[in-house]
A and B are shown apart, each in its own frame.
Chain A
Amino acid sequence: MSVTVRIPTPLRKLTGGSDEITVDGTTVGDVIESLESAHPGLKERICDDAGEIRRFVNVYVNDEDVRFLEGRATALKDGDELSIVPAIAGGC
């Protein structure tokens, strides 16, 4: 199961500057593990000590926030796109 992950600017130092990485995984959690194998250090940026996605990190599967899906357990299919986006502001 091959998916594309879009890497935000603050994490590109860990990916040698790449803004997109293709990795394998059947769930969001799997993909995070694959990212960690390919680019050590990525997982601790995205997840807290308990392995949960950090509260100020948003992970999207094909434009849908995984918090509205099944979080780390969200199932993936071939060709899915993941985006990792740090939380930002607006409004008041």
Chain B
Amino acid sequence: MTESIVRALKCRECGQEYPIEPTHVCEFCFGPLEVVYDYEKLEGVFTRELIESRPQTMWRYKELLPIDGEPTVGAQNGYTPLVRAKRLEKVLGVKELYIKNDSVCYPTLSFKDRVVSVALSKAVEFGFTTVACASTGNLAGSVAANAAAAGLESYVFIPHDLEQGKVLGAGIFGTNIIGIKGAYDDVNRLCSEVAGKYGWAFVNVNVRPFYAEGSKSLAYEVMEQLGWKAPKHVVVPMASGSLCTKVDKAIKEFIKLGLIEDNSTAVYGAQATGCSPIAKSVKDGTDMIHPVRADTIAKSLAIGNPADGYYANRVIKESGGWAEDISDEEVVAAMKLLAETEGIFAETAGGVTLGCAMKMIESGKLPRDESIVLCITGNGLKTQEAIVDAISKPRIINASLKEFDVLAEADGVADA
């Protein structure tokens, strides 16, 4: 086991450093804290060969995740398929397109299993026995499941009107599930006050700096799966904007460690028009994020007051990317297209990612002749309400060959 390279928590605004503790904001300027590392300690030690020799989980990159030693929660999580999307390439008229398919992430079918395994492993290290979160749904399920498997008590706070699939997908694990009358931003505000009062590890409040680092594993995997190469373009869904910044950080880390060449990767953000404060700021050419009241079927992205919006905006601009937003109808159409061309049933956020990518290909923001990776972060089985009216219903017949023959003839299907 190599020595931990985690150096400190550092304020993203004023640069003040803090010891590794369950805390998330700077005492001096209130800026958000981020985990920083001493990368030089990994020189010559953290090699492609070492990584390739390890089990196929997100923990094959454990040196770059902020835990001490081995993970105690979610040791099997991550390492999802990177799919070459040949059929979708034809429809979109692009040369090289990949889907990073976190809709099949273990164990709860969203990329949140990555961040949660880091957050809960860290919570155990800190000595917490109860874990909690504010969630738009996927996080609630992931915290509940991973806490159950680790024998931790959990409280999950969600907006009261979430999709049934997400409510059930958390409740089944025996968690304490609290529905808040209000939008996610209201849940978030309550949770930051609850976190100050109860001695729990709130994954996206007091252990957030560690939690957020888990997202980097998605990008590490993409680079390894592309044959130790970063894509030219990567499109990510944005709610708080955190994933966008962590994908960028992961790519820069691999370059710094000599694991890949710099491919000048551009990062693109995707939002639903009904909640697009970050995309709007990019398109308006400003770094001011104006909070909005979210109204979209893409509930996992419905954060009107995005905590990392400013940083996501900066990553997008500095990397040479762009941001886009699409209507709820376009979200549904893109979910269907992804399913019908690639056999991948993504949640609404996946529709947002693909739909926005299509819009940026049309507008020329995304070039057709260079590699593009779309990050699909959640599973469509959890957001069935969004598409229930848009898909064809089964045609009901009796168990009679004659009746089927009539149906087949109407479809123009010839018998053998």
Binding site for B on A (CB under 8 A): 6, 8-11, 13, 19, 44-46, 54-58, 60, 63, 65, 67-68, 83, 85-92
Stretch at the interface among B2-10, B22-30, B259-267, B354-362: B22-30
* Cα A65 to Cα B243 with chains together (Å): 25
Asked whether any CB of chain A lies closer than 8 Å to the CB of B192, the reply is yes
With A8-B193, A54-B30, A88-B192 given, can you name 12 additional A-B contacts, CB distance below 8 Å? A6-B193, A9-B196, A56-B30, A63-B186, A85-B189, A86-B32, A88-B188, A90-B187, A90-B204, A90-B240, A91-B239, A91-B301
| A51 CB, nearest partner CB in chain B, Å | 14
Are B239 and A10 in contact, with the CB atoms below 8 A? Answer: no
| Least distance between A61 CB and chain B CB atoms (Å) | 12
The answer to whether A91 touches B302, judged by C-beta atoms less than 8 angstroms apart, is yes
Which B residues, 102 to 149, have Cβ-Cβ distances below 8 Å to chain A? 111, 133-136, 139
A92 touches B236 (CB 8 A): yes
Shortest CB–CB separation between residue B109 and chain A, in angstroms?
14
Q: Is the interface of A mostly helix, strand, loop or mixed?
A: mixed
In the complex, chain B residues whose CB is within 8 Å of the CB of A67 = 290-291, 305
B66 at the interface (CB under 8 A from A): no
Is B377 part of the contact surface with A, judged by Cβ < 8 Å?
Answer: yes
A88 touching B204, Cβ below 8 Å: yes
The answer, among A56, A60, A63, for a CB contact under 8 Å with B32, is: A56
With the chains together, A68 CA to B277 CA distance in Å?
14
Q: How many A-B residue pairs have CB under 8 A?
A: 111
**A46-B30 CB under 8 A given contacts A10-B23, A92-B243:** yes
Question: Contacts of A91 on B, CB cut-off 8 Å?
Answer: 136, 139, 184, 239-240, 300-303
Contact, CB under 8 Å: B30 / A10? yes
From A13, A19, A56, A58, B196 is in contact (CB under 8 Å) with A19
- 9 residue pairs of the A-B complex, CB under 8 angstroms, read A9-B195, A13-B27, A60-B189, A88-B134, A90-B240, A91-B300, A91-B302, A92-B243, A92-B377
- The answer for the CA separation of A58 and B238 in the assembled complex, in Å, is 20
Residue in B24, B32, B239, B310 whose CB lies within 8 Å of A90: B239
Question: Which of A13, A45, A86 touches B192 (beta carbons < 8 Å)?
Answer: A86
For A6, A44, A83, A91, the residue with the greatest tally of chain B CB atoms inside 10 Å of its CB is A91
Residues of B within 8 A of A19 (CB): 196-197
A92 and B307 in contact, given A58-B189, A68-B291, A85-B193 (Cβ under 8 angstroms): no
The CA of A7 and the CA of B302, in the complex, are separated in Å by 27
Q: How far apart sit A85 and B184, CA to CA, in the bound complex (Å)?
A: 15
Known contacts A55-B289, A56-B32, A85-B193: does B135 contact A90 (CB below 8 Å)?
A: yes
Cβ of B97 to closest chain A Cβ, rounded Å: 20
Q: Chain B CB within 10 Å — which of A46, A86, A89 has the most?
A: A89
B31 within 8 A of A: yes
Q: How far in angstroms is the closest Cβ of chain A from B325?
A: 14
* Shortest CB distance A3–B (Å): 17
Q: Known contacts being A65-B291, A83-B193, is A92 close to B238, with CB within 8 Å? A: yes
Report yes or no: B305 in contact with A89, Cβ–Cβ below 8 A: no
Q: Which residues of A contact B193 (CB under 8 A)?
A: 6, 8, 83, 85
Given contacts A10-B23, A19-B196, contact A88 B29 (CB under 8 A): no
Shortest distance between the CB of B385 and any CB in chain A (Å): 18
Q: Which residues of chain A have C-beta atoms less than 8 A from B24's C-beta?
A: 86, 88
Contact A92 B290 (CB under 8 A): no
User: Does the CB pair A87–B305 fall under 8 Å?
Assistant: yes
A11→B134 CA distance, assembly (Å) = 21
Residue of B nearest to A87 (CB): B307
Interface centre among B25, B205, B289, B300 (most CB of A within 10 A): B25
User: Does B166 touch A at the CB level, under 8 Å?
Assistant: no
Please tell me if the beta carbons of A56 and B239 are within 8 angstroms of each other in the complex.
no
Are A89's CB and B204's CB within 8 A?
A: yes
Chain B residue with minimal CB distance to A44?
Answer: B29
Report which of A11, A65, A89 forms a contact with B212, defined as CB distance below 8 A. Answer: A89
